[in-house]
Copies of this chain bind each other. A is one copy, B any other.
Amino acid sequence: MAASEDSLRRALVEKQSTIESQGNAVRALKASNAEKKAVDEAIEKLNALKLEKSSIEKQLQASVSGNPGSSVSKEAFRQAVVNTLVGRLFFIPSFKIYGGVAGLYDYGPPGCAVKSNVLAFWRQHFVLEENMLEVDCPCVTPEVVLKASGHVDKFTDLMVKDEKTGTCYRADHLLKDFCNEKIQKDLSITAEKAAELKHVLAVLDDLSAEELGTKIKEYGITAPDTRNPLSDPYPFNLMFQTSIGPSGLSPGYMRPETAQGIFVNFKDLYYYNGNKLPFAAAQIGQAFRNEISPRQGLLRVREFTLAEIEHFVDPDDKSHPKYSEVADLEFLMFPREQQISGQSAKKTCLGEAVSKGIVNNETLGYFIGRVYLFLTRLGIDKDRLRFRQHLANEMAHYAADCWDAEIESSYGWIECVGIADRSAYDLRAHMDKSGVPLVAHEKFSEPKEVEKLVIVPVKKELGLSFKGNQKKVVEALEAMNEKEALDMKSSLETKGEVEFHVCTLGENVTIKKSMVSISKEKKKEHQRTFTPSVIEPSFGIGRIIYCLYEHSFYLRSSKAGDEQLNVFRFPSLVAPIKCTVFPLVQNQQYEDVAKIISKSLTAAGISHKIDITGTSIGKRYARTDELGVPFAITVDSTSSVTIRERDSKDQIRVNVEEAATVMKSVTDGNTTWADAWANFPHHSSVSAEE
């Protein structure tokens, strides 16, 4: 940790001790019935000391929370969060007793509860409120599906191998590390060189295998662990491969995303929805990426939970019926133009961004708004959340528009949700590969008259002139677009014949009037058939949860001031358990009351824990604060109990019979702690905490 942090901690301990002496002085003055003036002065001094202490605490917190802070304090902050997470089993490195596996983590009991709360809220906020069709498909996926989606061919990272040991590295990571290291630590490089390295960093994601290889050679980059030479970069597919069935003849993969399961079911889901658009399907499930060398701890893992929505919509009408409900929201947006011109994200009204065309369409805008509400209700700090539009080179050629919800963490801005208008790409890909029409129909309220071009080659005449080449000429004639055909028609009518280039023959042929009939005919159509566009919000649940941990974590001093205590300020919605029940002291009567309350909490569906250890109440509060438990019920009599709120440390007194009802109402969000505070007698917190 930073030196400044240590000195702040020392200052804090000293200040606390001075406060305690001053407190004693005040009490002594009061007890000796000293003059009012003397007492008032002593109290004023005490208050001034408390203010100074609070200022030190704030500095310490800024230093540790790394916000804004240097990279050192960011890492110290991250370490403090991760230590707490691992210490309290929010996370456990998977298969730890066998040395673990990079990029695999378990959720321990509180982490599992947080995850389950986040997913339940996701279902409520998206699936239930939007009437989405949820599906649940297998992780094991046959090759044909991922061939169609492009993952078999393109889901790769470029890898280099240590030529002696065979250890693998991501090529771009090595180049990135080299450039950063040089720029930051090598004082001998020229300004020119520095500019070159910065340029490499800027275009890193766009470099081909050859370009990466050239740079690695040019800079003489070697294997970081051994200094051995490296192989040329080559693509490594990030999917876990396996084999389905015993024959070894059916390759399969662990899915890299859940979306494909929805696309292949489009036809059934469209039918299930009464053949009506728009509708959305959703899936929550595991996804797998066999990362070359996972870094960034909990953010880049080899197995993770995705929650994905595919909203199918008529490409000619991307309005959304509930758009007005989010149009007035304001939050940080970071459009393409502002990124290019070097500005930063600005607070923007969503409705304006849509009406100005910065966000491509209403439906995309609607989901951006809903994602904002989802994340902030979970407890993500709105000032460290921005919606960043993809630059042109980040976006697939078929995508209409794409925005990432990025959350600022100690690792920088992290992509946690992608919201993309992928046009008709995915459905077309599966339609082409499977031959099954994945289309929608719009019935016209009355038939529409359309003019259609009709080209009829006269095969007999063509056969006489072109013999073996007849088929190619026929195909070329039929393939003409409207302008070409109408030009030919008028030429034939005026000149009787025309030169015509047949690509497949590589030459011109002479077409006579007798050889083709070209006309425009009017037809009545009753419906239109089209491939729907898909708008895809895709949530990395593990990343959201990790960022939530960072945004919820803070430190505060213990009562004695000699210790900094960890607290997670989770909202009830997210907290692993909603309350803890403590008998104040170890005694049968209090334990019986605790059990009665526990029973009524269980009946009300409120997750909780009884803590009957003999530890001091202060220590037990600290333990439950560290788990982010919002409320603590302390049994200090057989008729009534206190309820303490985690962040304010305020306490109210309620009857034993009321405890579960109050908890239910406050944790469900039907009432707030402020309501409870207004309605129940306050309990003075002299006892355990300051």
Q: Which residues of A contact B (CB under 8 A)?
A: 89, 92, 94-98, 101-102, 104-109, 111-113, 115-116, 123-124, 128-129, 131, 133-142, 144-145, 159, 166-168, 236, 240-247, 249-250, 252, 254, 261, 264-265, 267-269, 272, 274, 281, 286, 288, 290-293, 302-303, 430, 433-434, 436, 438, 602, 605, 607, 609, 613
Which residues of B lie under 8 Å from residue A607 when comparing CB positions? 128
Alpha-carbon distance A113/B132, docked complex (angstroms): 11
Q: Is the CB of A137 within 8 A of B602?
A: no
Task: Tell me the number of copies of this protein.
Answer: 2
Which residues of B lie under 8 Å from residue A94 when comparing CB positions? 137-138, 261
Alpha-carbon distance A109/B267, docked complex (angstroms): 14
Which residues of B lie under 8 Å from residue A247 when comparing CB positions? 166-168
Q: Is the CB of A135 within 8 A of B108?
A: yes
Question: Across the two chains, which residue of chain B brings its CB closest to A108?
Answer: B135
Distance in Å from the Cβ of A532 to the closest Cβ of chain B?
A: 16
Q: Which of B108, B140, B303 has a CB less than 8 Å from the CB of A303?
A: B140
Which residues of B lie under 8 Å from residue A433 when comparing CB positions? 98
Q: Which of B98, B109, B140 has a CB less than 8 Å from the CB of A264?
A: B98
Q: Is the CB of B104 within 8 A of A140?
A: yes
Distance in Å from the Cβ of A77 to the closest Cβ of chain B?
A: 24
Q: Is the CB of A109 within 8 A of B96?
A: no
- 22 example contacts (A-B, Cβ-Cβ < 8 A) are as follows A89-B268, A92-B135, A92-B265, A94-B137, A94-B138, A97-B264, A98-B264, A104-B140, A105-B138, A106-B137, A112-B134, A112-B135, A139-B139, A140-B240, A166-B247, A166-B249, A168-B246, A236-B246, A242-B254, A245-B291, A254-B254, A274-B613
Q: Is the CB of A96 within 8 A of B286?
A: no
Distance in Å from the Cβ of A325 to the closest Cβ of chain B?
A: 12
Alpha-carbon distance A97/B98, docked complex (angstroms): 42
Alpha-carbon distance A436/B145, docked complex (angstroms): 43
Alpha-carbon distance A245/B289, docked complex (angstroms): 9
Question: Across the two chains, which residue of chain B brings its CB closest to A598?
Answer: B131
Distance in Å from the Cβ of A164 to the closest Cβ of chain B?
A: 14
Chain A to chain B: the 5 pairs with minimum beta-carbon distance, closest first: A107-B136, A97-B434, A109-B133, A168-B246, A97-B436
Q: Is the CB of A609 within 8 A of B131?
A: yes
* Listed residue (A101, A241, A267, A303) with the most chain B CB atoms within 10 angstroms of its CB: A101
Q: Is the CB of B134 within 8 A of A113?
A: yes
Question: Across the two chains, which residue of chain B brings its CB closest to A304?
Answer: B138
Q: Is the CB of A97 within 8 A of B288?
A: no
Q: Is the CB of B92 within 8 A of A139?
A: no
Which residues of B lie under 8 Å from residue A104 when comparing CB positions? 138, 140
Q: Is the CB of B302 within 8 A of A244?
A: yes
Q: Is the CB of B136 within 8 A of A112?
A: yes
Distance in Å from the Cβ of A688 to the closest Cβ of chain B?
A: 21
Q: Is the CB of B168 within 8 A of A96?
A: no
Which residues of B lie under 8 Å from residue A267 when comparing CB positions? 97
Q: Is the CB of B254 within 8 A of A106?
A: no
Which residues of B lie under 8 Å from residue A254 when comparing CB positions? 139-140, 242, 254
Q: Is the CB of A268 within 8 A of B108?
A: yes
Question: Across the two chains, which residue of chain B brings its CB closest to A100?
Answer: B142
Q: Is the CB of A106 within 8 A of B602?
A: no
Which residues of B lie under 8 Å from residue A107 when comparing CB positions? 135-137
Distance in Å from the Cβ of A48 to the closest Cβ of chain B?
A: 43
Q: Is the CB of A246 within 8 A of B290?
A: yes
Distance in Å from the Cβ of A619 to the closest Cβ of chain B?
A: 13
Which residues of B lie under 8 Å from residue A243 when comparing CB positions? 240-241, 290
Q: Is the CB of B139 within 8 A of A303?
A: yes
Distance in Å from the Cβ of A670 to the closest Cβ of chain B?
A: 10
Alpha-carbon distance A249/B254, docked complex (angstroms): 19
Question: Across the two chains, which residue of chain B brings its CB closest to A101?
Answer: B142
Which residues of B lie under 8 Å from residue A281 when comparing CB positions? 109
Distance in Å from the Cβ of A379 to the closest Cβ of chain B?
A: 20
Question: Across the two chains, which residue of chain B brings its CB closest to A240?
Answer: B242
Distance in Å from the Cβ of A486 to the closest Cβ of chain B?
A: 39
Distance in Å from the Cβ of A549 to the closest Cβ of chain B?
A: 16
Which residues of B lie under 8 Å from residue A272 when comparing CB positions? 89, 108-109
Question: Across the two chains, which residue of chain B brings its CB closest to A140?
Answer: B303
Which residues of B lie under 8 Å from residue A168 when comparing CB positions? 245-247
Distance in Å from the Cβ of A93 to the closest Cβ of chain B?
A: 10
Distance in Å from the Cβ of A574 to the closest Cβ of chain B?
A: 16
Q: Is the CB of A106 within 8 A of B134?
A: no
Q: Is the CB of A141 within 8 A of B95?
A: yes
- Told that A140-B240, A236-B246, A246-B290 touch, could you supply 4 new A-B pairs with CB distance under 8 A? A98-B142, A108-B269, A167-B247, A286-B286
Q: Is the CB of B108 within 8 A of A116?
A: no
Alpha-carbon distance A101/B241, docked complex (angstroms): 16
Alpha-carbon distance A95/B141, docked complex (angstroms): 8
Alpha-carbon distance A101/B253, docked complex (angstroms): 13
* Listed residue (A97, A139, A241, A254) with the most chain B CB atoms within 10 angstroms of its CB: A97
Known A135-B112, A264-B96: A302·B140 in contact at CB below 8 Å: yes
Alpha-carbon distance A95/B96, docked complex (angstroms): 36
Q: Which of B98, B135, B436 has a CB less than 8 Å from the CB of A106?
A: B135
Alpha-carbon distance A246/B288, docked complex (angstroms): 14
